[in-house]
A and B are shown apart, each in its own frame.
Chain A
Amino acid sequence: MRMKLFSNSKRLYQWTRKLHLYTGLFISPFLLLYAISTLYLNHSVRGTPVDEAQGTVPIELAPGVEGMELVNQVVEQLDLSGEIAGRGQIRNNQTIIRVARPGIVKVVTVNLADQEATVLQRSTGLLGAINYLHFNPGLHRVPKWGITKLWGWLADTTVYLTLFLTVSGVYLWVLLKAERNTGLIMLGGGVVSFISILAALFFI
């Protein structure tokens, strides 16, 4: 009976260790992306976008079209894909549509009278790409593009795996007798710091 318990706990330890290793390696690039972009966002650092005019092209729009139907017609004719911002509101015979993906935004100015669209490509670089991915999806940013939805699912998965890594990490540490005392001091220090800062933020 004792042998069986020992064998089960050993197997649990080995499996937890393996899963901690493999899931940790898989999500490591995602964690780096979030950690690095956090440093930039925390100091409100933004890259300088580079604009490139991509020319003006003729388009055929149905008479009187506006709103999302107008947006859809333009996006389809220009063969653009990405997260679309713009509701097709017409002002001075023009509407502006932004089609964004990580690192790039295409700004399309549609002239309804002349039936033409002018495309400007705004490149935000690596910094813009990781900031975009950090923000999307987010509050007031409900994804419509399938790829953003996929990223949102991956971001959720990153959180679940991170929570698993922390719990499995604590389990693996508890079994390490050599690191127990210093580990307890570090854990205690973290808990005290966390509670003190939050208490000051909320109640001072």
Chain B
Amino acid sequence: MNQHEIKKGFETWNRKIHIYLGLFMLLFIWLFSVSGLFMNNPKWFHGNVERTPTDIPVTYSEGLDEVARAKELRDQLGLEGEIILRAQRNTEKFFFMVMRPNKRFGVSVDLATKVATVNHVKPQPVGILGDLHTFSGVRAIWNEPVQERDWIMTRIWSFSIDVVSIGLILIVLSSLYMGLKIKENRPWAVASLAFGVLTCSFFVWGLSMMA
């Protein structure tokens, strides 16, 4: 295979990858684009969340660490979702959250009476979009002492986010190669890219340099 054939093969596959990845990720890109738009415009998030508290007696094993205890209680209460466990503020209670994009459960166990108050929180549809956008299981904003993904679906969704990000990078790189190879109207293509690079660079580097 000579160099010309290798180049031609690369160009053919570069184009195919651009098309196939774009088609495969179409719905994912729409989801993250629309949810990003909503998150970028917080005023669009409105409406009250529904909260339904229920008291349930529980038992738990002594001597478990907090993560293991939260998992045991989650399973006992029949809840499914990612455990969000922050530092405990009230020594008389054990608090954690079980979260999935369309619902959350705040679980507060009274250590004296062994009664769990499960607060079922149902967000509005736009809130669900926001939760899907950020549902990584290890958000710094949650401030968890132990950051781990403890629900299989969190791992799958987080993996999907990685795949979409890497796929998007590949789509962009393949488009740069194709876009700059086109001879017709090349000055316009170069000008579009240069305008984008300069605008983006101003925000990424320019603002800190001017501080």
Contacts and interface: CB of A to CB of B under 8 A. Distances in A.
Contacts of A32: 169, 172
A62 interface: no
Interface string A167-200: 0011001001001001100110111011101101
Interface residues of B, number: 70
A39 B165 contact: yes
Contacts of B25: 190
Contacts of A129: 203-205, 208
Given A35-B168, A38-B161, A202-B101, A102 B130 contact: no
A173 B138 CA distance: 37
A202 B100 contact: yes
Contacts of A46: 140
Nearest to B21: A186
A156 interface: yes
Given A18-B185, A139-B45, A190-B25, A102 B204 contact: yes
Contacts of B185: 18
Given A44-B147, A104-B211, A159 B36 contact: yes
Contacts of B42: 137-142
Q: How large is the interface on A (under 10, 10 to 19, 20 to 34, 35 or more residues)?
A: 35 or more
A189 B192 CA distance: 33
A179 B15 CA distance: 10
B66 interface: no
A31 B172 contact: yes
A177 B100 CA distance: 42
A155 interface: yes
Interface in B142-196: 147, 153, 156-158, 160-162, 164-166, 168-169, 171-172, 175-176, 179, 182, 185, 188-189, 192-193, 195-196
Interface of B is mostly: helix
A26 B208 contact: no
Interface in B32-55: 33-34, 36-37, 39-42, 45
A28 B27 contact: no
Contacts, number: 197
Interface stretch (A5-13, A109-117, A146-154): A146-154
A163 interface: yes
B207 A173 contact: no
A102 B201 CA distance: 11
Interface in B105-142: 130, 132, 135-136, 138-140
A92 interface: no
Q: A140, A195, A204 — which one has the most chain B CB atoms within 10 A of its CB?
A: A204
Contacts of A163: 30, 33-34
B40 A156 contact: yes
A172 B46 CA distance: 37
Contacts of B211: 82, 101, 104, 106, 121
A42 B168 CA distance: 15
B74 to A, nearest CB: 14
Nearest to B35: A159
A106 to B, nearest CB: 7
Given A159-B36, A195-B27, 6 more contacts: A159-B33, A179-B16, A186-B23, A190-B27, A201-B100, A201-B132
10 contacts: A35-B169, A39-B166, A44-B147, A121-B211, A130-B204, A142-B42, A159-B36, A182-B16, A197-B157, A200-B153
Interface of A: 18, 21-36, 38-39, 41-44, 46, 82, 101-104, 106, 121, 123, 126, 129-130, 133, 137-142, 147, 151-152, 154-156, 159, 162-163, 166, 169-170, 173, 176, 179, 182-183, 186-187, 189-191, 193-195, 197-198, 200-202, 204
